[in-house]
Amino acid sequence: MDRIAVITSGGDAPGMNAAIRAVVRAAIGRGAAVVGFHHGYEGIIKNEAEPLDSKSVGGIITTGGTILRTARSKDFMERVGREKAIEVLRENGCEGIVVIGGDGSLTGALKLHEEFQFPVMGVPGSIDNDISGTDYSIGFDTAVNAALDAVDRVRDTAYSHERVFVIEVMGRRNGFIALEAALAGGAEAVLIPEIPYSLLEICDQLRDQAAKGKRSSIIIVAEGAAKAGDIKDFIQKNTGFEARFLVLGHMQRGGSPTAFDRVLALRLGAYATNRLLSGYRGEMAGVDGNKLVSHPLSYVLSTERMVDPEKLLLAEVMAQ
């Protein structure tokens, strides 16, 4: 393989730039050239190609977002869009592609592999950490730390005013960010979509804690579980405690990647590239207990990633 493509697709995640850098430099190290396409699959269809050399990915390891930009392409969902994408990739001399993104992007990669036998490798990039086949996806650690910073700041004012704060974090249909931020931030309760919860029980718990002298609380809610404003209203109405809420939103997706995310991105980007150049196809690189692994995309996309029951129990015990 003399030339490969790279894209970032779907929601951006801090560390995607480090992954692009790793793909480019690993490929160059093996004597292959790299073409980056802007705006993910949409940019392939529109032929937004940019040859990437070692210098063009210099100085990006520290930055959030993605230098290649990103998009969620409607055209690529249709077979005719994918045919066009394959045509453009071939016109540009690309013999394979590394796709950095979340499950929607990896689903697109699997389609290129299955429908056109085009050589693809996936790299998990999503703050949600909801991708099977890897312990961590790129951007999760940075997003958790951004959420945690907000939780720590809110705790100061919650304590001073003796209020209940409900903080909504991202995570799409999952509660990985919520659970991690709740554990690290010492939250009094965490609501995630994977586990049923009772708001009346949470109100009882807040009353018990208040009776023991705890006059401020932080409740973390995953966006897929409920709206923070509704939870705040319910608690205020049922307990009489003064409550406030905030929705952290996209601030969790920006900022300089943590050391963890940078190293993860470098390892996964380089590993995926090396495997693609060595003839492996239709897989996604991941980490399992800090070891690099690679699983078929078909397996990754058909397996649901479960929340760790040990962490759930720990959050419950710690909130007492």
Residues lying near ligand F6P in the complex (CB under 6 A): 11, 102, 126-128, 170-172, 223, 253
Please state the closest distance from residue 171 (CB atom) to ligand F6P, in A: 5
Amino acid at 164: V
| Phi, psi torsion values for 171, nearest 5 degrees | 140, 5
Amino acid at 224: G
Amino acid at 232: K
CA 281 – CA 234 distance, rounded (Å): 51
Residues involved in catalysis: 128
Contact of 220 with 182, CB cutoff 8 Å:
yes
Please state the closest distance from residue 104 (CB atom) to ligand F6P, in A: 8
Query: 25 vs 253, which CB is nearer to ligand F6P?
Result: 253
Query: 105 vs 236, which CB is nearer to ligand F6P?
Result: 105
Query: 25 vs 172, which CB is nearer to ligand F6P?
Result: 172
| Nearest-5° Cα angle at 33, 263 to 294 | 45
Pairing of strands 49-52, 33-37: antiparallel
Question: Would you state the structure tokens that stand for residue 240, as one six-digit string?
Answer: 């009489």
Contact of 137 with 131, CB cutoff 8 Å:
yes
Please state the closest distance from residue 314 (CB atom) to ligand F6P, in A: 23
Please state the closest distance from residue 56 (CB atom) to ligand F6P, in A: 26
Query: 47 vs 107, which CB is nearer to ligand F6P?
Result: 107
In the numeric block, the tokens 């560390």 are attached to 15
Q: If DSSP codes are grouped into helix, strand and coil, which group holds residue 306?
A: coil
